[in-house]
Structure 1
Amino acid sequence: MADRTGSGEPSRTLALLWGQVAPARKGPARSLTVEKIVDAALTLADEQGLAAVTVRAVAQAVGVSPMSVYTYVPGKPELLDLMVDALYLRMVRPKWGEVPWRVRLTAVAEMNRALLREHPWLTEIAALSRPPLGPGVMAKYEYELSAFDGLVLSDVDVDAALTFLLGFVQGHCRSVHDAERSVTDTMMSDAEWWEANQPLLALAFDPEAYPRAVRIGAAVGEAQQSAWDAARAWSFGLERTLDGLAAIIERPASGR
């Protein structure tokens, strides 16, 4: 089974998320809690990556046997949902004040980007279609929906607009995560990789066969010293995403 949110047993997961499950009597000392298990799992994921999050590793981190962890959390799918919801619950949610909608939606995007950059493994498991419906997810959803207050949009369009915005953020952060893993896996920076492969790349970049690719690729490389620049991709993509939303947010009433 793939590591994704929403892959655990729904009723058990929801009960855990809302604190409706008490551990079995045969569990360890009462000093252990679901919150401590989740915190240990979050530390493992942040320090070693998602693959390091196993029930055995979490048990070792909190100083109990794996069977003891199972008396609190039935398995890794449920643990992943608890981890995601805990991070969402801890997000800072300042009041909007009287600011334009683009400022509010930019803030939503930036907050989600910061979360995914701090915990890059989230891009691997956080499914927009099946989020863990715990207090963290609900608080996050409620707050982000409030960024659309005062706009003349239907409820369905508000949800679609938020999903569209978050989809851009998640896709961008996944690209950043993949780019960073490429550097880690090859132990070479982008500049070093291009330099090392220059002889082979010269064969691919034939100006007669691929005039646009060679011209534009050279211009991009010169402008940003790389085939892809995360900061430039973020600023360009976010602006275009907001421009797309402006088409429905700012259209005349007669066109609605």
Structure 2
Amino acid sequence: MAPETDPPFRRIAADLRRRITTGELAPGARVPSNRRLAQDWGVALATATKALTVLRSEGLVEARPRVGTVVAAVPASPAAVPASPPRPASAEGELSRERLIAAALEIADAEGLAALSMRAVAARLGAAPMSAYRYVTSKDELVLLAADAAFGEAGYPADPPAGWRPRLELGARTLWSLFRRHPWLAELGSVTRPLLLPNLLTHAEWALAALDGRGLPAATVLDIHVLLYSYIEGLAANLEREARAQAATGLTGDQWTDTRFATFDTRAAATRFPVFTRLTAELGEGYDLDLDTLFESGLTTLLDGLAPRIDGLAPRIDGHA
């Protein structure tokens, strides 16, 4: 245990270090989040984050996307842990906008957008809380910069595939992979208030170019793009919700569903909800809801429905068609 005279973050780190090295927290086990540590120890969120940063620099813990901070697969032995952990390599003098964005991405990916703050980013980099403001003006700006960086992680070939459908399919799957990697992106905005981020516009340009030159009114082209993007973003929003629910309850989606059906009165439901009761009974072992499979199925259905309109075979039913 760390002496009571040690700073709070060192005492928190020492307690967690003891629990890890004694096996109380096994490899792969989730470590209390910075918010939970802040509550349990009565300290600021930045203090708790700093304690986890110390353990991360020692190799005892690691951030795992959409899970949080977990005990490293091969934790260091007690003898290998330095008595006075060195200051992280990212000292205040080495701060840059790029390092802030990278840290913001790590926090948002591991703990969700709610955990991202200027103080948390500074603490992760071992810098003074206010020093981050020399490079970005606010948390909102940092979030947008991190989002733009995330959307820029995947691009498109110089020679697009032939036909509007293969091009839209590639664009949709590319966006889905980015939302998969960074589920918090689906929380950023709405289609009525679009984010004009350069790298996000790259994805929009790819989709719009697939529809351009087909004789469609401009409003129709934009409608189709918004519809397709809304489908991807709307489905992706469930990735973040599931991650938050699993972190809060400790149950996977299947486990949570099992607990609900264990108390579900099927006899009463059979009268009031006959179709639902019959379908769930026919499934036997349950409904395997896989978002990746659902994404592909929905994409096919959506594009099948749009094909007559894009190919000019649909009847004119409104001012856009």
TM-score for the superposition, normalised by structure 2:
0.62
The answer for the alignment partner of 2:308 in structure 1 is 247
1:205 and 1:172 map into 2 onto residues whose CA distance is 32
1:139 and 1:91 map into 2 onto residues whose CA distance is 10
- RMSD of the alignment, in Å? 2.6
The answer for the alignment partner of 2:276 in structure 1 is 213
Residue aligned with 2:263, SS: helix
> Quick check: 2:216–2:310 contact (8 Å CA) kept in 1?
yes
1:185 and 1:32 map into 2 onto residues whose CA distance is 33
Shift of 1:152: 2.5
Query: What's the CA shift string for 1:208-254, capped at 9, x where partnerless?
Result: 332112112333x448x336332442233212211232231023398
Structure 2 CA distance for partners of 1:218 and 1:180, relative to 1, 3 Å: farther
| Aligned 1:1-256 pairs, distance under 5 A | 29=93, 31-203=94-266, 206-219=269-282, 221-222=283-284, 225-226=286-287, 228-252=289-313, 255=316
Structure 2 CA distance for partners of 1:33 and 1:218, relative to 1, 3 Å: same
| Structure number with higher relative contact order (C-alpha < 8 Å, ≥ 6 residues apart) | 1
> Quick check: 1:38–1:79 contact (8 Å CA) kept in 2?
yes
1:172 and 1:144 map into 2 onto residues whose CA distance is 18
Shift of 1:190: 4.1
> Quick check: 2:103–2:121 contact (8 Å CA) kept in 1?
yes
1:251 and 1:169 map into 2 onto residues whose CA distance is 24
Identical pairs, percent: 31
1:229 and 1:134 map into 2 onto residues whose CA distance is 30
1:44 and 1:226 map into 2 onto residues whose CA distance is 33
> Quick check: 2:152–2:200 contact (8 Å CA) kept in 1?
yes
1:69 and 1:147 map into 2 onto residues whose CA distance is 41
Mark the structure with the bigger radius of gyration: 2
Amino acid at match of 1:112: L
Structure 2: 5+ residue stretches without partners:
1-91
> Quick check: 1:113–1:169 contact (8 Å CA) kept in 2?
yes
1:34 and 1:203 map into 2 onto residues whose CA distance is 57
